[in-house]
Amino acid sequence: MKTDTTERLSLGNIPGVHSGGATGPRVDPAALTIGIVHFGIGAFHRAHQAVFTEDAAAATGDTRWGILGVTGRTDSVVRQLQPQDCLYGVLQKGAAETALRIVGTVRDVAWPARDSEKVTATLAQATTHIATLTITEKGYLQAGDGIDLSLPVVQQDLALIERELDGEGDLPASGSPIGLLVRGLARRFRRGAEPFTVLSCDNLVNNGAVTRALVFSLAEALSAGAGRDDLLAWLAASVSFPSSMVDRIAPATTPGDRAEALTLLGLRDEALVVAEPFTQWVIEDDFAGPRPAWELAGAILTTDVTPYERAKLRILNATHTQLAYLGALKGHTTIAQAIADPALRAAARRTIDADILPTLDVPFGLNLEQYRDSVLERFTNPNLPHTTLQVGMDGSQKLPTRILGTVTDRLNSGHTPAGLALTVAAWITFVAFTLHKDGPTLDDPLAARLQQAVGSDHAAVTGPAALVDRFFTLGDVFPPDVSASAAFRAAVVDQLGEVQRLVHPSD
């Protein structure tokens, strides 16, 4: 195949980049040293924080902020990036224009199953100052306020951190991102104890505080002794956990995107990512040590991320989720198709106006109505094939963060949010439909428990009320104040009918 024999993007052929239709890298990748370890080097990080970091380096000439990217369970991203000297393109697709930019700020990549030692050693180096995280909601392994200590992988990681604190070498691989992070922090503490910053960039409420609580819950579970107590004291005094709000729509790369990039670049790029033009990063300015000048790259550094984070999670992510489930049920493949459907667009708009906007404080300099309009406009981008199934995955992890906190706020102020009940009803219908024996498999870490809620045979579910009751017993998803609300339960039952009317309008 022609594409397979085309030369692949690498440091050796950067000059060739500019002869095609591409730009970048904006700094000499070979001049960068590692200053950041990033956990979860998927498409989003490459299209977002890595680009901000390169722009900051270009603005200042500061070469300390190369990134070591850490992959998740598989080594596929290592295989994409390593043969390209970790260079990759961001194919920016606007409604009218496409542009390709090569980014060079990722300087190395590690797969924990093989490279836990490399990640640990890098986290411990005095020249590394920051760990950033995009490990998705499920990657945190949260149970209540802490990490789920009942999980075998967490217990194994705990044992490794103890051995690390004892100074043992040649340890096996860590199994969880937080476990590997704390192992690296333990070595950093033993080696030089320089201050450090852990910066979560995931779509969680108070992501900095959540990450801090998980790190501490793991460290506190270590065997009692001087090592543990000194580590905890150092973590409290010298490691900060700022919160941040991140925003850029970055759908999965398709073969068509790769072909388009090949045309623009004349080189093969197996690590290409795709993104919309819009990008935003709001960061709590609470760093224990040095950081890149991200504000020179357009990031907002602030003392309080909360109003931005709430507006983004509750308007953008919540509406994405509603459109994903209603859209998928109605046969729409992409978010752009779903928002182009007048009935779904109207439902989205109603939900934002009636149920979401009343719960939000206005972030400084932001008009919430304009923000709502710009979000809905971004969803219409027809060149960004963000699939409803991609946004719909991991619903059990996403609903609490983006929907159910808003439900609680509305219930507390004496309102029953019908639009949010519609979203919950759409999720339940989607799960039930997907888990039906003829449907595709459900992409959700709670799939097995959701299967029990749905019942192995649809006929066993006696009606909408019984179905809602079964879902509401999922304590990991529905907080007690939501599942105990008779009014909200009735609204979800009611909205199951509305889902059917929306997705089968002619029946």
Site for ligand CS2 in 167-206 (CB under 6 A): 203
Contacts with 433 (C-beta within 8 Å, 6 or more apart), sequence order: 329, 439
Query: Would you say 325 or 472 has its CB closer to ligand CS2?
Result: 325
Query: Would you say 92 or 317 has its CB closer to ligand CS2?
Result: 317
Q: What is the largest CA-CA distance in the chain?
A: 70
Name the segment binding ligand CS2 (CB under 6 A); options: 166-174, 227-235, 358-366, 390-398.
390-398
Query: Would you say 122 or 319 has its CB closer to ligand CS2?
Result: 319
Pick from 294, 272, 246: nearest CA to 130: 294
CB of 290 to ligand CS2, least distance (A): 27
Name the segment binding ligand CS2 (CB under 6 A); options: 72-80, 91-99, 157-165, 244-252.
244-252
> Of the candidates 133, 323, 391, 421, which one interacts with ligand CS2 according to CB under 6 A?
391
Query: What count of residues does the chain have?
Result: 507
Q: Does 338 bind ligand CS2 (CB under 6 A)?
A: no
Q: Does 300 bind ligand CS2 (CB under 6 A)?
A: no
CB of 272 to ligand CS2, least distance (A): 18
Which segments of 68-206 does DSSP mark as H helices, in order? Answer: 76-81, 112-124, 136-139, 152-165, 177-191
**Size of the residue set binding ligand CS2 (CB under 6 A):** 9
Q: Is 142 helix (H, G, I), strand (E, B) or coil?
A: strand
Name the segment binding ligand CS2 (CB under 6 A); options: 79-87, 109-117, 246-254, 325-333.
246-254
Q: Does 407 bind ligand CS2 (CB under 6 A)?
A: no
CB of 29 to ligand CS2, least distance (A): 26
Sheet of 66-70, strand order:
106-110, 66-70, 34-39, 130-133, 196-200, 239-240
Name the segment binding ligand CS2 (CB under 6 A); options: 78-86, 247-255, 437-445, 467-475.
247-255
DSSP label at 7? P
| Tokens 């201050």 sit on residue | 195
CB of 321 to ligand CS2, least distance (A): 7
Q: Which residue is nearest to ligand CS2 (CB)?
A: 320
Q: Does 38 bind ligand CS2 (CB under 6 A)?
A: no
Q: Does 429 bind ligand CS2 (CB under 6 A)?
A: no
Burial of 233 (0-12, 13-18, 19+ CB in 10 A): exposed
φ, ψ for residue 93 (rounded to 5)? -115, 105
Q: Does 356 bind ligand CS2 (CB under 6 A)?
A: no
Pick from 454, 397, 395: nearest CA to 426: 395
| Tokens 């094939």 sit on residue | 385
Name the segment binding ligand CS2 (CB under 6 A); options: 83-91, 241-249, 443-451, 492-500.
241-249
Distance CA 42, CA 252 (A): 10
Distance CA 103, CA 85 (A): 11
Query: Would you say 249 or 491 has its CB closer to ligand CS2?
Result: 249
> Of the candidates 141, 249, 336, 384, which one interacts with ligand CS2 according to CB under 6 A?
249
> Of the candidates 55, 108, 247, 284, which one interacts with ligand CS2 according to CB under 6 A?
247
Query: Would you say 128 or 322 has its CB closer to ligand CS2?
Result: 322
β-pair partners for 103: 88
Name the segment binding ligand CS2 (CB under 6 A); options: 207-215, 243-251, 439-447, 497-505.
243-251
For residue 127, give Cα distances in angstroms to 66, 68, 288, 356, 392: 11, 12, 13, 43, 39
Residue 282 tokens read as: 């709001």
Interface contacts to ligand CS2, rule CB under 6 A: 203, 247-249, 317, 320, 390-391, 398
